Copies of this chain bind each other. A is one copy, B any other.
Amino acid sequence: MSGKRSLIRSGTTVDQMVRAIGDRIVTGFLRPGEKLDEASLAARFDVSRTPVREALGRLSAMGLVERRPNRGATVAVVTQEHLASMFESMAELEAICARFSAERMTTAERRALEIEHQASARLVQLGAEEDYEYFNTEFHTRLYRGAHSKHIYELTVMTRSRLAPFRRAQFMLPGRLAKSWQEHDVIVTAIMRGDGAAAGQAAKDHVSIVSEASAVFAAVDPMKPETDSIGMSS
């Protein structure tokens, strides 16, 4: 019977299940609308149904899977409207964060933001998309933290994680890197001079542009049976 867990890393079994299943959804290996059978998943990962069940519950709370009582779980289907709604929310949330950041950031926070932002300019010149993506995430996180509001932070991070699957390839568009940096520059400038309104507007515009850039990926066909079930990774 149950032997050793696969060589997946740390955390409780449920955490591993959340990561494993979540990854497969985010990477598109599990298609939207696809049924998630508890027993199958449990067998696939060599665990019992219990942790799988709890993992599905968490993923449901994250919005990655949908659950109906007595009817099982499916990979969440994100409609065009819902996706637009999430990007819209993201724009509003980022605007709030930028506005608050402009008003509340400490001197140290402003300096760190500026320094990191300037440093990332080099990545644009080099066209280092991978590294820029990392700095991009860091940049936005700084904005969220700079708002000095724990709950706003939570809402924003939650929304961002929910949008992650659709933002993945936004930097593949040519010239997007430089444009992204310039948009960041507008935000930083506004924050440095404490102009909350301008910072908010700039952040909103920034996300709106990202939204449009990602819109092309919304055309992911849902409910495609897919040949196989579950492979290995992470």
* Interchain CA distance A96-B86 in the complex, whole Å: 14
Known: A57-B57, A57-B58. Contact between A155 and B159, CB under 8 A?
yes
The answer to whether the Cβ of A48 comes within 8 Å of any Cβ in the partner chain is no
The answer to whether the Cβ of A228 comes within 8 Å of any Cβ in the partner chain is no
Interface-lining segment among A23-31, A146-154, A182-190: A146-154
The answer to whether the Cβ of A82 comes within 8 Å of any Cβ in the partner chain is yes
Known: A57-B54, A57-B57, A69-B12. Contact between A92 and B96, CB under 8 A?
yes
- A36-63 contacts to B (CB < 8 Å): 50, 53-54, 57-58, 61
List, in ascending order, chain B residues with CB within 8 A of A70's CB: 12
- Taking the closest CB of chain B, its distance from the CB of A61, in whole angstroms, is 4
Q: Is the CB of B54 within 8 A of A152?
A: no
| 19 sampled A-B residue pairs with Cβ under 8 A | A12-B69, A12-B70, A53-B54, A57-B57, A58-B61, A61-B61, A82-B150, A82-B151, A85-B149, A85-B151, A85-B152, A86-B151, A88-B149, A88-B152, A89-B151, A92-B96, A92-B152, A151-B159, A155-B155
